[in-house]
Amino acid sequence: MIWSSVSVESILATIVAALFAIAGVVNLAGLGAVKQDFARWGYPAWLRLLCGALELLSAAFLLGQQTRVLGLAVAAAILIAALFTLLRNREPFRHLAPALVFSALVAANFAIRC
């Protein structure tokens, strides 16, 4: 089977969408240490909910061919804010690593798309 750039783009976008959907649900539900992390970083409780909603919105946009670029832009904005927060607060690499992986996947999707 020959892989076309469209199929690779769709597969990658679906993977990124799934990851952002999971992250959105985790943030909205406040699972694990999410609530404590946002409080430790000095953010209000509503910001966690906004982040979760934006992550779910990004995931939905990523699944549509016509809205994929918008989904990637929202995802990139979320990741810039997340990386800024993690670096500013000198979080350990175990917190930084997922954000870096997400960033690489979004960048790869942008590269394939453009």
Q: Which residues contact 62 (CB under 8 A, 6 or more apart)?
A: 13, 14, 16, 17, 20, 68, 71, 72, 75, 109
pLDDT for residue 17 is more than 60: yes
pTM: 0.90
Q: Which residues contact 24 (CB under 8 A, 6 or more apart)?
A: 51, 52, 53, 54, 55, 56, 58, 59
What pLDDT, in 10s, does the model give residues 29-85? 999 899 999 999 999 999 999 999 999 999 999 999 999 999 999 999 999 999 999
Tokens at 5, concatenated: 């750039």
pLDDT for residue 5 is more than 70: no
Nearest of 114, 112, 105 to residue 4 by alpha carbon = 112
